[in-house]
Chain A
């Protein structure tokens, strides 16, 4: 017997299909038609064809099948593109932020350290405490300390401000990261009086030193002092931040750190655990040291212990809840899409029962048919995956372009080979997920029954499966929408918060005036007054002020605050009232639109010669003087002679009371009360460590235009002083609301997608059922049912599915939304109004989606429907 090419089979199959159709068209019943074809079928089945690559054949056949129904294919691929695109985009972010390896050696042994009260308030490390930790700990291979600092780079035409990190020489060992050129600094360079050296970032090396290896040994003028460059760190070095330009030995600055244990000068620790030591054991060891210090130094160390946290945790802890939520949300969207597609495929498989039956009659095994159908869905999924990857690329680019500041490693976020591999895997898994049920069902059909009955929709199991899918879809949509609804309401609550100032038309910029250049306090103050005067003279400037802290930026210098006549603390552990103290110029309040509720602002007479004065926030006034007028009362937040009973307060008279201003971001509100002192009466804490002052300008001018004028003005006073961080207050508000806004937007988009998909799902199933039950509906109408009855029948069916889904979804949402708590502000994760509104919304959408097929059902002509039999 000869071997025939495989295509012959196809031609013959076509022939038999045509023959069958022709017989049916002539009114030959199905069974008879199959009987007449039986011999041809037998002959065909016994023909030997050349073996061919099953995958290639399936693929060709599938492509053909898909081309034949372009509408169906496009709907499926678009649905998939949305689902896979969204999933891929979120994966891109999760991958860059959380999954991709960090360049430090033994990342899982790197920990960050801070001091923390037993109540959980984190603070920086007191220098003497750190020295004790270093000597007494048994758990660290390397223990390093670092502090951020801004330094001025001079020596070129325009002064620049660099982000520096003061670091002990152990830092590079703790991170396990050597220099790519030159070396890091050695222990003997990390002590007071050592020759000044600097290690620069790869970025700085490229931008300022032409990536020249010969730059090693050359000199940089930082804060007016020459520093010898000894090394270049690789681009992967992002510690403490990816913006760090230069690392300087911390030892040189040690004399400037307060020797008191009560002072916390912005130092934080980083360490490498000894092999085999867990974070828990390190914590326990450090806690034991902290308890010894507590006994030795009760005034400063009572209730203080050490926070040891895996460095990886430190990086991701702020974004993890949001990323996990979004990953879950996007997985839900994909699942809903799959459910929808499974439904479509089921309907399609029903429509192809005859085709499948004939193929099977021709000898195709069920496994081959199953493979064939699965090939179709996987092909569509891959098509959707390609579109989805394009969509993801576009979405990720748009996301990165917004430069979110709250997302770590944002510059690493890009659609790359890893992401594409993920998209492909997701596509295939998706294809299987939505193709499996229909393929299984179609390939296990009872042949004869289905052939006999193709026109009647006996497919009870199919209908049940379809209904279950729709219920599941609606339930998942409810969970997503409740999540989205909660974040929307939370965001509304956030943006409705009273900031305490008016952010519109306020431009800010930072001025860095190093102590080394203006060692005398009076000259330092005079310089600031000078630029304030010049900025005020710029046309278009309505008001200008300087302040040592920037609202919403995360606070500033803090100290204990007392009022005159306050009873002394009963015990060392009694919590003192703390304040955020600021050095301010008179017009700051006007420039920022901060309301003065009582008294006055500062004036030019509140200078070094005048009586010490302060302005306080209303909460402080209420707390200290609940029944009296605070104006004229005296408070102190500066002390001479150390801490404790020996401390002598410097009293300031309250001259004004202002509204509370949010300094620590929108949500975080520590107990600190806000106190302002005139710049001219600089708080003593600022005399040693001068703050970088920020200029606040109320103006209708564009920020860049204003910055140029101010730079010019400052440069005419001192060309060595850089102006940087030009930002409007609205940008600060934008940054503070960035993450919640992002969460809300993405969840709302995913929720919207889920809603659309679920309504399409309901619509699709009902349309299908109406199509299948045309005869039944016709009979009902013929027997006297009204159109209203029919409408109720169809819509009732849709609504039963929807309500089942809504109830399941509400229960699931109730269980799930608790995990959203950390993302929500001012709203309970079980907010009944949100739950009710979402349920009502989905019910309404379901009603609309049921109405259309319902109307179609009412238009059934009973006579036509009956005759079709």
Chain B
């Protein structure tokens, strides 16, 4: 039972954090989907992974909301790729989400007492 409960938590956490993760990764420079998925995987030490079938619809939704903007870029000898960059609106959302997340993590920590030093 506990196992299942932790999987649900996992999923909900990911869902809640996914937007934040993507917005932060495209903050400093435009990135394409494969790049994003590899970065999330490697920086989280393999804890967080996205399936293809959820990553790209998410990117599509973010773009539709106007938070990121995608552009096809051709490079000689490579497949063309769609690079996403953060928009001004996206930057605002990112700032507020970061804040919310920070407050949320702090609150959880205070309650659950998993704070480290």
Closest to B54 in A: A43
Q: Which of B34, B51, B74 contacts A67 (CB 8 A)?
A: B74
Which residues of chain B are within 8 angstroms of A67 by Cβ–Cβ distance? 74
Asked if B33 is at the interface of the complex by the 8 Å CB criterion, the answer is yes
In A1-55, which residues have CB < 8 Å from any B CB? 2, 4-5, 7-8, 11-12, 14-19, 39-40, 43-44, 47
Q: Given A11-B33, A11-B82, is A40 in contact with B53 using a C-beta cutoff of 8 Å? A: yes
Interchain CB contact under 8 A, A8 and B56: yes
Instruction: Count B interface residues, CB 8 Å.
Output: 19
Asked if A100 is at the interface of the complex by the 8 Å CB criterion, the answer is no
Interchain CB contact under 8 A, A2 and B79: no
Asked if A64 is at the interface of the complex by the 8 Å CB criterion, the answer is yes
Interface mask (B68-83 → A, CB under 8 Å = 1, otherwise 0) = 0000001001111110
Closest to B74 in A: A67
Which residues of chain B are within 8 angstroms of A68 by Cβ–Cβ distance? 74, 77-79
| Assembly CA distance A11 to B79 (angstroms) | 10
Which of B37, B55, B56 gathers the greatest number of chain A CB atoms within 10 Å?
Answer: B56
Interchain CB contact under 8 A, A12 and B53: yes
Q: Given A64-B80, A67-B74, A68-B77, is A15 in contact with B34 using a C-beta cutoff of 8 Å? A: yes
Which residues of chain A are within 8 angstroms of B78 by Cβ–Cβ distance? 68
Closest to B77 in A: A68
| Assembly CA distance A752 to B43 (angstroms) | 62
| Assembly CA distance A17 to B79 (angstroms) | 10
* Pair count A-B, CB < 8 A: 51
Interchain CB contact under 8 A, B37 and A15: yes
In B81-112, which residues have CB < 8 Å from any A CB? 81-82
Which of A2, A15, A67, A68 gathers the greatest number of chain B CB atoms within 10 Å?
Answer: A15
Q: Given A15-B33, A17-B79, A64-B80, is A8 in contact with B60 using a C-beta cutoff of 8 Å? A: yes
Q: Given A7-B82, A14-B34, is A47 in contact with B53 using a C-beta cutoff of 8 Å? A: yes
| Assembly CA distance A43 to B53 (angstroms) | 6
Q: SS class of chain A's interface: helix, strand, loop or mixed?
A: helix
Interchain CB contact under 8 A, A43 and B52: yes
Distance in angstroms from B34 CB to nearest chain A CB is: 5
Interface mask (A236-275 → B, CB under 8 Å = 1, otherwise 0) = 0000000000000000000000000000000000000000
Asked if B57 is at the interface of the complex by the 8 Å CB criterion, the answer is yes
Interface size class of A (residues with CB under 8 A): 20 to 34
| Assembly CA distance A18 to B80 (angstroms) | 12
Interchain CB contact under 8 A, A4 and B52: no
Closest to A16 in B: B52
| Assembly CA distance A17 to B78 (angstroms) | 11
Q: Given A14-B34, A15-B34, A15-B37, is A40 in contact with B52 using a C-beta cutoff of 8 Å? A: yes
| Assembly CA distance A586 to B21 (angstroms) | 108
Which residues of chain B are within 8 angstroms of A11 by Cβ–Cβ distance? 32-33, 56, 59, 81-82
Distance in angstroms from A196 CB to nearest chain B CB is: 78
Interface mask (B21-49 → A, CB under 8 Å = 1, otherwise 0) = 00000000000111001000000000000
Distance in angstroms from B79 CB to nearest chain A CB is: 5
| Assembly CA distance A19 to B78 (angstroms) | 14
Interchain CB contact under 8 A, A2 and B57: yes
Q: Given A19-B34, A40-B51, is A8 in contact with B79 using a C-beta cutoff of 8 Å? A: no
| Assembly CA distance A40 to B33 (angstroms) | 15
Interface mask (A54-85 → B, CB under 8 Å = 1, otherwise 0) = 00000000001001100000000000000000
Which residues of chain B are within 8 angstroms of A2 by Cβ–Cβ distance? 57
| Assembly CA distance A799 to B81 (angstroms) | 45
Which residues of chain B are within 8 angstroms of A19 by Cβ–Cβ distance? 34
Which residues of chain A are within 8 angstroms of B33 by Cβ–Cβ distance? 11-12, 14-15
Which residues of chain A are within 8 angstroms of B52 by Cβ–Cβ distance? 12, 15-16, 40, 43-44
Distance in angstroms from A363 CB to nearest chain B CB is: 13
Interchain CB contact under 8 A, B79 and A12: no
Which residues of chain B are within 8 angstroms of A44 by Cβ–Cβ distance? 52-53
| Assembly CA distance A11 to B55 (angstroms) | 10
| Assembly CA distance A47 to B32 (angstroms) | 21
Which of A11, A19, A68 gathers the greatest number of chain B CB atoms within 10 Å?
Answer: A11
Distance in angstroms from A423 CB to nearest chain B CB is: 30
Which of B34, B37, B59 gathers the greatest number of chain A CB atoms within 10 Å?
Answer: B34
Interchain CB contact under 8 A, A15 and B56: yes
Distance in angstroms from A416 CB to nearest chain B CB is: 38
Which residues of chain A are within 8 angstroms of B79 by Cβ–Cβ distance? 14, 17, 68
Distance in angstroms from B22 CB to nearest chain A CB is: 14
| Assembly CA distance A5 to B82 (angstroms) | 14
Interchain CB contact under 8 A, A5 and B34: no
Which residues of chain B are within 8 angstroms of A5 by Cβ–Cβ distance? 60
Closest to B37 in A: A15
| Assembly CA distance A17 to B33 (angstroms) | 12
| Assembly CA distance A18 to B74 (angstroms) | 15
| Assembly CA distance A279 to B82 (angstroms) | 72
Interchain CB contact under 8 A, A8 and B80: no
Distance in angstroms from A341 CB to nearest chain B CB is: 22
Distance in angstroms from B32 CB to nearest chain A CB is: 8
| Assembly CA distance A43 to B55 (angstroms) | 12
Distance in angstroms from B8 CB to nearest chain A CB is: 21
Which of B60, B77, B78, B79 gathers the greatest number of chain A CB atoms within 10 Å?
Answer: B79
Which of B55, B60, B77 gathers the greatest number of chain A CB atoms within 10 Å?
Answer: B60
Interchain CB contact under 8 A, A12 and B51: no
| Assembly CA distance A47 to B60 (angstroms) | 14
Closest to B79 in A: A14
Which residues of chain A are within 8 angstroms of B82 by Cβ–Cβ distance? 7, 11
Which of B52, B56, B79 gathers the greatest number of chain A CB atoms within 10 Å?
Answer: B52
| Assembly CA distance A431 to B37 (angstroms) | 40
Q: Given A4-B57, A64-B80, is A43 in contact with B51 using a C-beta cutoff of 8 Å? A: yes
Closest to B72 in A: A7
Closest to A46 in B: B53
The list of the 5 closest CB pairs from A to B, nearest first, reads A43-B53, A40-B52, A18-B34, A15-B34, A8-B56
Seen from chain A, the residues whose Cβ lies within 8 Å of a Cβ on chain B are 2, 4-5, 7-8, 11-12, 14-19, 39-40, 43-44, 47, 64, 67-68
**What are 7 A-B contacts with C-beta separation under 8 Å?**
A12-B33, A12-B52, A14-B32, A14-B33, A19-B34, A40-B51, A40-B52
| Given A12-B33, A64-B74, 13 additional A-B pairs, CB 8 A | A4-B60, A11-B81, A12-B52, A12-B56, A14-B34, A14-B79, A15-B37, A19-B34, A40-B51, A44-B52, A47-B53, A68-B74, A68-B79
